[in-house]
């Protein structure tokens, strides 16, 4: 395959950026999108140019590092991560636009790499359960109902990639935050922090400068892990419940 790529190039957070066009040849339809970028980078390196910086780690769709907006869609045309997207989803001769996640809370570090530290701070504010350390507890000491386990697992699938923020017209982080709140809230182990978790995580999310949710549903459409839009509704319910129970101040 022969393609024309238009890629966002930006040397550092404060430098002005812009789209730069590159022609790539010899692309196999079986390559992943990242392997296609590797091919380009090898050539750029040989030619003495700066390779395109992009985030990646596992390349098997489980770590959440890869983060490309491809032709205006977070993670591109298929419902998967950028690393699991294959070039057979494109046609020979296509022009493909590649941009970084765009959000005030995700500043560009370089080219296609953004700083997703805001997500880490949301997790730090309440995305944990307090467990006593020491000897491992007996496995059946805390029974988990099947429905709760299923719900927790569905939300635990979130890999924290940030595609939901990138896809949202408002740059809102509600889907990510709700996945975490619902994951831990569904389990008995998460019960002690049930109220403070949702209040603190939502407060941190707001403090990071993410936009407000208007239920456009773009996040759930883009999410490679299929976190449902109703996850946000469930978090709203938890937040209302918690704000009635915990006096604020």
Residues that bind another protein (CB under 8 A): 6, 8, 19, 69, 71-73, 97, 99, 102-105, 167, 169-172, 209-212, 214-218, 228-230, 232-234, 236-241
Q: Which does 103 bind (CB under 5 to 8 A by kind): ligand FES, another protein, ligand SF4, none?
A: another protein
For residue 214, how many C-alpha atoms fall within 13 Å in the half-sphere facing its CB?
7
* Closest CB 136 distance from another protein, rounded Å: 35
Q: Are 67 and 165 spatial neighbours (Cβ–Cβ below 8 Å)? A: no
* Closest CB 130 distance from ligand SF4, rounded Å: 23
DSSP assigned state of 157: T
Q: Given the rule CB under 6 A, which of 46-54, 56-64, 90-98, 174-182 is the region that contacts ligand FES?
A: 56-64
The arrangement of strands across the sheet holding 3-9 comes to: 18-24, 3-9, 95-99, 69-70, 73-74
Q: How far apart, in whole angstroms, are the C-alpha atoms of residue 214 and residue 195?
A: 23
* Closest CB 83 distance from ligand FES, rounded Å: 3
Q: Are 96 and 19 spatial neighbours (Cβ–Cβ below 8 Å)? A: no
149-168: contacts with ligand SF4 (CB under 6 A)? 158-164
Spatial CA neighbour of 112 closest among 97, 101, 100: 100
Nearer to another protein, 52 or 61 (CB): 52
DSSP assigned state of 140: T
Strands 69-70 and 18-24: unpaired
Q: Given the rule CB under 6 A, which of 15-23, 54-62, 113-121, 167-175 is the region that contacts ligand FES?
A: 54-62
168-227: contacts with ligand FES (CB under 6 A)? none
Can you say how many angstroms the Cα of residue 100 is from the centroid of all Cα atoms in its chain? 12
Would you give the binding string for ligand SF4 spanning residues 184-213, x where CB under 6 A is met?
Answer: ------------------------------
Which residues does residue 74 pair with via DSSP β-bridges, in sequence order? 69
Q: Which does 225 bind (CB under 5 to 8 A by kind): another protein, ligand SF4, ligand FES, none?
A: ligand SF4
Q: Are 59 and 34 spatial neighbours (Cβ–Cβ below 8 Å)? A: yes
Given the rule CB under 6 A, which residues bind ligand FES? 56-59, 61-66, 81-83
Given the rule CB under 6 A, which residues bind ligand SF4? 158-164, 175-176, 179, 222-225, 227
């Amino acid at each position: 395959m022969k393609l024309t790529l238009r890629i966002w190039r930006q040397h550092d957070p404060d430098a002005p950026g812009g789209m730069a066009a590159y022609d790539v040849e010899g692309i196999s339809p079986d390559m992943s999108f990242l392997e296609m970028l590797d091919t380009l980078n090898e050539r750029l390196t040989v030619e003495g140019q700066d390779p395109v910086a992009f985030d990646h780690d596992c390349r098997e769709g489980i770590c959440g590092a890869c983060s490309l907006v491809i032709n205006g869609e977070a993670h591109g045309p298929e419902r998967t991560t950028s690393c699991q997207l294959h070039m057979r989803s494109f046609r020979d001769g296509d022009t493909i636009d590649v941009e970084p996640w765009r959000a005030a809370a995700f500043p560009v570090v370089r080219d296609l790499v953004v700083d997703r530290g805001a997500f880490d701070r949301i997790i730090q504010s309440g995305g944990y359960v307090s467990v006593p350390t020491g000897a491992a507890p007996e496995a059946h000491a805390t029974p988990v109902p099947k429905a709760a386990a299923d719900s927790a697992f569905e939300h635990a699938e979130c890999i924290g990639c940030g595609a939901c923020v990138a896809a949202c017209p408002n740059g809102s982080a509600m889907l990510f935050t709700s996945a975490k709140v619902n994951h831990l809230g569904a389990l008995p182990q998460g019960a002690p922090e049930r109220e403070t978790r949702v209040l603190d995580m939502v407060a941190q999310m707001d403090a990071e400068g993410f936009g407000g949710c208007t239920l456009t549903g773009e996040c759930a459409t883009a999410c490679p892990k299929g976190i449902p839009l109703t996850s946000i509704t469930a978090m709203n319910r938890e937040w209302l419940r918690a704000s009635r129970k915990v006096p604020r101040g």
